[in-house]
Chain A
Amino acid sequence: MPPHLCQLCNTARAQVLRPKNHARICANCFIATFERETAETITSSNLFQPGERIAIGASGGKDSTVLASVLKTLNERHGWGLDLVLLSIDEGITGYRDHSLDAVKRNSVEYDLPLKIVSYEELYGWSMDQVVAQVGKKGNCTYCGVFRRQALDRGAAMLGVAHVVTGHNADDVAETVLMNLLRGDLPRLSRATSIVTSTPRAGQPKASLDGQPAAVSFTNVKRSKPLMYAYEKEIVLYAHHKKLDYFSTECIYSPEAFRGSARTLIKNLERIRPESILDVVRSGVDMAKLVPDADGNCKGACGSRKATEIEVKHDGEEEEEAGGGGCGSGNGQETGGEMAEMEKKLLQDDRAEEEGTETHISMPVKAVNGQRHDGDEKVGPPAAALVGEANGQGHDRHKHPPMSTATTVPIRTKQEKKAGRRSGRDAPPPRQVLGQCERCGYLSSQAVCKACMLLEGLNKARPRTGIEVGSAGG
């Protein structure tokens, strides 16, 4: 068979088969098309303001490397005047980031973009190596994951940058859509499909970052995903044909069960019909418009400008970046039973429903991995079932104080006492509707965010001198 000619220029040999429309095009036309489409995404959703400072979350991997390269190119081509900065997070695990940070450093030189590497130690007062020394190998993944979710926001705030862009691609978004359908989390589905997620109404933090310019608080950082309509395959191809320098890792981090399931489905869907990745993204965007808010109003279709509020109400902890990290010590082990745990919880809910409702209390139920069930839609299981410590599951995630967000339902005396004791200990008075950490101001479904909780534990066990960002009275 003779080689195909490029369908666009009709001169060069076709080298790329585009998954989204089966077009066969040459490398130059592909690069031009990829850049044009990214520019269209950016302009049609008004992602950037002229002259805006933008931090590119740079991990050294293919997605963020392509993002940096494309943004640099488009910024110059279209005269957007963006002030671009590379922002990398160093967890402080000896050796773990060496290669990827080297790639970021080379990119910084090649694209002539300033690079800021922010370490966990700067952000939280603890590097992961120190955390491991303190808590041991087992369980340190919890710390790494929780710290990572806030790290980009905190790092950006340190730089005085109010907008972070990340390299999430169409495959990541599609995967997250399916994952959240599987675990029944519509708010997160909504969030994953928004090209911009911002939390501008969260207000000022109660404890600001020591010695940092007050202009940007990390509770106020906007996030966006300019590559959310780009196929992972095309990102790899772009990096290849532009000869970009990135660090490719075989991801040693085994995804949690729901994400793993969704990932397999996406791979199989792509095999059956490559277009379906973008079709899932489109479906997700459309579904997000149909997600009711807490008052039962629909969010998009009726045109009420409540979208941001809904995002704020949602617990604000970012999705872990798909493939974006992991501290490399077997995260999977800890979360592998995620589906089983959810199954158990759902079954308990069912039983409770069948048994009648007099013992129900209404509260936001926090399940594994920060997954949140809407307290207002779901009647909670009997309180007895929620006391994790009672059946030997005394992880931190079971200890959330009952924060009443909605109606009060008759509660049996025994539970009332329990609830009273618990709120007396560490919860604010009820009626805190909007989740915001009372210590650091970060969005949280609990009174104190997970990062602050973990830091409190760490700091208590080994009091440290010096700045402890984010801890009470630091």
Chain B
Amino acid sequence: MPGRRAPAAPVDHSLCRRCQLSEPAITVRTEPLCAACFSRYVSTKVVKRMESFRVRHLEPGDERVLLLPLSFGPCSTALLHVLSHQLKGQAEKTSRTGYKLHVLHVECGNAATDSLLSKVRERYPEHVFSSCSLSDVLAVDGVPELFQQDPSSGQLEQEQGGSSPQGSLDSMFASLNSPTARDDLKQILIQKLVVAFAKQNNCEAVLWGDSATRLAERTLAETAKGRGASLPWVVADGDMLYGVPFYYPMRDLLRKEITAFASYVEPALEDIIVSEAVKPAVSTKNTTIDDLMKQYFESVEQEYPSIVANVVKTTSKLQATSLQGVETQCELCNVPLDGQAPERSRLCYGCIRTLPHLSS
């Protein structure tokens, strides 16, 4: 930039823009940074988002527990790493911490996560760890009732001759008419389960690992699924549609930045991260709306990182409808039904799209 920003000494473009000592390892929004400066950059962005959980905001004697759902993906794992670091720093400085972490892994049918969880537990022994299975959602208040009225599900259970939670969950997913609907339902059920767990375990808030890229994807995906009305709750920090506030401390970082960060951490985070399988390109039959948006933002992120961030910033400006005085909420996703659903429906338009056979 012209003029006033020019530093006293000329910038050596072959070195890290910030410290001018080390070789750059990565270019962050046009700035070449070394691994150390880059890691500091990432931590600062995350810690800044944790303002409201600082030590001085905590009454003496009080304890504040935050729930961190860990998927073993790069984003939630990196979040766990950064926050662990922050808490260590706090403990060293003030001998107490602003909050404690409870880490929860929700198993969605992929095996081998047990050994991963114990590895993570070994590495960050200071936190409480739990895991549960997605089918546990059937024990959450209101969920069995939600699916019971499905005329087809009773049949399916009989056919399979079993009534194990996993079996009924599987048949529920099998009854959905598209991969997009399955994706959508899975995301909602995970949220429901996490919220129920947070309430049971007195967690004050949920810290999700979603990056700016992920939030931008979700903005467009939810829009395409007819869920525009719930966007303010999807992307805003501290809002609660489910009764427990959600926070996204990684919201100022791109997915590619977080992935790079995870690869610089020592000892490597890689052996506690499950990288997602690369999905084939758009327009195969099994592509979901979420896949489409993911592929789209993967390319936008390369060339136009600020545009990705700006989508999230823009969506955050939408004002959530006040939940006070709302008479009915969608039984699946909790969005207020007033104006968002056909008359006497239990579900909002977005959820009807996912569960058409349950709409009445």
Q: Which A residues lie at the B interface, using CB under 8 A?
A: 177-178, 181-186, 261, 265, 268-269, 271-273, 275-276, 278-280, 282-287, 289-292, 298, 301, 339-340, 342-343, 346-348, 350-351, 355, 377, 382, 384-385, 390-391
Contact = CB atoms under 8 A, between A and B. Distances in A.
B107 to A, nearest CB: 28
Contacts of A181: 219-220, 223, 311, 314-315
Interface stretch (B94-102, B199-207, B286-294): B286-294
Task: Give the interface centre of A184, A280, A390 by most chain B CB atoms within 10 Å.
Answer: A184
Interface string B297-327: 0001001111101110111011111100000
A265 B226 CA distance: 15
A280 B4 CA distance: 45
Tell me the interface secondary structure of chain A in the complex. helix
Going nearest first, the 5 A-B pairs with the smallest beta carbon separation are: A283-B228, A279-B226, A346-B306, A184-B314, A286-B229
Contacts of B224: 269, 276, 279-280, 283
A290 B220 contact: no
B289 A276 contact: yes
Given A181-B223, A287-B228, A350-B306, 12 more contacts: A181-B314, A271-B283, A272-B287, A276-B226, A279-B350, A282-B228, A283-B226, A301-B321, A347-B29, A347-B306, A384-B2, A384-B3
B319 A292 contact: yes
Given A184-B313, A282-B228, A348 B289 contact: no
B178 interface: yes
A343 B320 CA distance: 28
8 contacts: A272-B292, A279-B225, A283-B231, A284-B223, A290-B321, A343-B304, A348-B1, A385-B1
A287 B318 contact: yes
A290 B229 contact: yes
A290 B5 CA distance: 39
Contacts of A355: 5
B242 interface: no
Nearest to A352: B1
A59 B312 CA distance: 37
Nearest to B309: A346
Interface in B259-294: 282-283, 287-289, 292-293
B255 interface: no
A390 B2 contact: yes
Contacts of A287: 223, 228-229, 231, 318
B229 A272 contact: no
A301 to B, nearest CB: 5
Contact of A391 (B2, B231, B288, B322): B2
Interface string B1-31: 1111100000000000000000000000110
A273 B2 contact: no
A269 B292 contact: yes
A265 B223 contact: no
B227 A283 contact: yes
A130 B352 CA distance: 56
B202 to A, nearest CB: 32
A343 B222 CA distance: 24
B302 to A, nearest CB: 11
A185 B310 CA distance: 10
B353 A280 contact: no
A279 B353 contact: yes
A354 B349 CA distance: 41
B76 interface: no
Interface string B330-350: 000000000010000000011
B232 interface: yes
Contact of B289 (A261, A272, A350): A272
A301 B229 CA distance: 11
B283 A268 contact: yes
Tell me the interface secondary structure of chain B in the complex. helix
Contacts of B220: 178, 181, 265
Contact of B229 (A184, A186, A283, A384): A283
Contact of A186 (B289, B309, B314): B314
A173 to B, nearest CB: 12
Contacts of A283: 222-229, 231
A286 B339 CA distance: 9
B296 interface: yes
B317 A182 contact: no
Contacts of B317: 186, 291-292, 377
B180 interface: yes
Given A272-B287, A283-B226, A290 B320 contact: yes
Contacts of A382: 1
A237 to B, nearest CB: 23
Contacts of A351: 1
A155 B276 CA distance: 56
Nearest to B287: A272
Interface in B214-249: 219-220, 222-229, 231-232
Contact of A298 (B3, B228, B319): B319
A181 B235 CA distance: 13
Contacts of B30: 347
Contacts of B282: 268
A146 B178 CA distance: 44
B310 A184 contact: yes
B1 A272 contact: no
Nearest to A266: B224
Given A273-B178, A282-B228, A283-B229, A339 B314 contact: no
B307 A339 contact: yes
Contacts of A385: 1
A377 B313 CA distance: 11
A385 B5 CA distance: 12
Contacts of A289: 229
B265 to A, nearest CB: 24
A384 B287 contact: no
Given A280-B223, A283-B223, A283-B227, A182 B319 contact: no
Contacts of B306: 342-343, 346-347, 350
A94 to B, nearest CB: 39
Contacts of B228: 280, 282-287
Contacts of A339: 303-304, 307
A362 B13 CA distance: 33
Nearest to A278: B226
Contacts of A273: 178, 180, 289
Nearest to B312: A184
A182 B311 contact: yes
A367 B108 CA distance: 45
B304 A340 contact: yes
Contact of A268 (B292, B309, B314): B292
Contacts of B283: 268, 271-272
Nearest to B307: A343
A194 to B, nearest CB: 14
Given A283-B224, A283-B229, A287-B231, A343 B303 contact: yes
B319 A290 contact: yes
A9 B232 CA distance: 44
Contacts of A276: 224-226, 289
A469 B1 CA distance: 42
A395 to B, nearest CB: 18
A280 B349 CA distance: 12
Contacts of B2: 384, 390-391
